[in-house]
Amino acid sequence: MNIEARKKALRFLFAPIVDKLGYKFNPEEEDVDFLLEQEAGLEQQCGIPYCPCQARTKDRAENMKIVCPCIPFHRAHFDAMKRCWCGLFVHKDVVDPSKLKQLPPGGFYKKD
Amino acid sequence: MKKVKMYTLSTCLWCKRTKKFFEDRKIPFEAVDYDKVEEQERERIMAEMREKGGGGSFPYVCIGSDVVQGYEPDAFERLLGCEKK
């Protein structure tokens, strides 16, 4: 599989899905390129474009919750932070993603 | 100097930035790529992370007895007692 072609395909596939969820691709193009490359690599390795910043375990049901775009499975958390965990997607109203945090003040977010 | 240990993923953008944060400040740290170790070690790491309240999201950084999940430069600086760079 050609990684560059797959990155373009993933971008094409994800855009309309996240749009309906109120998100868009992160305006930081360099970050998006890196993250899509990792996802294309994971897809090549595992058959599924998992989130590159969350761990897979032996629990398939849990692993399904980190298939990109994983927004529906972590909705409360991501909506609060205005970004998904890896930062591939941000809320549509986000202009400067550099200010966004992964977790609220105080640390861990309650799992959905 | 507090001991710094982190669990990371080789595919994670924020794990790379976390490592760079410590490298830039010449702060020694121990890092383990979760996705590069054997299954048994992965299970041990996940159990440790869950015991402290974190899920399977990376990076997971232990600074002394404190834990920071995610790339949080302000929290790293505060816990290390170092100045902003």
Q: Kindly report the CATH number assigned to the domain that includes residue A41.
A: 3.90.460.10
**pLDDT tier for residue B83 given thresholds of 50, 70 and 90:** low
B76 touches chain A (CB under 8 A): no
Pair of tokens at residue A112: 């959905």
- Crossing angle of the two packed helices A3-20 and A29-46, in degrees rounded to 10: 110
pLDDT for res A111? 47
- A106 found inside a domain: no
d(CA A38, CA B39): 21
- A107 found inside a domain: no
CB contact under 8 A, B72 and A102: yes
pLDDT for res A107? 63
- A26 found inside a domain: yes
**A37 in the Ramachandran plot: left (φ > 0), alpha (ψ -120 to 50) or beta?**
alpha
Residues in chain A: 112
Q: At the topology level of CATH, where does B4-80 sit? A: Glutaredoxin (3.40.30)
- Give just the sign of the alpha carbon dihedral B24, B1, B62, B77: negative
Name the residue range of residue A20's domain. 3-99
> Which residues are registered as beta bridge partners of B31?
B6
| B56–chain A nearest CA distance, Å | 5
| A50–chain B nearest CA distance, Å | 10
Q: Which residue of A has its CA nearest to B55?
A: A111
CB contact under 8 A, B55 and A85: no
pLDDT for res B47? 94
- Mean pLDDT by groups of 10 residues along chain A of 112 residues: 93 98 98 98 96 95 96 94 97 95 72 44
pLDDT for res A112? 42
How many domains does chain A contain in total? 1
d(CA A12, CA A72): 19
d(CA B3, CA B7): 14
Report the predicted TM-score, pTM, of the whole model to 2 decimal places.
Answer: 0.92
**pLDDT tier for residue B85 given thresholds of 50, 70 and 90:** low
CB contact under 8 A, A35 and B9: no
CB contact under 8 A, A55 and B72: no
Strands (E) in A21-76, as ranges, are 23-25
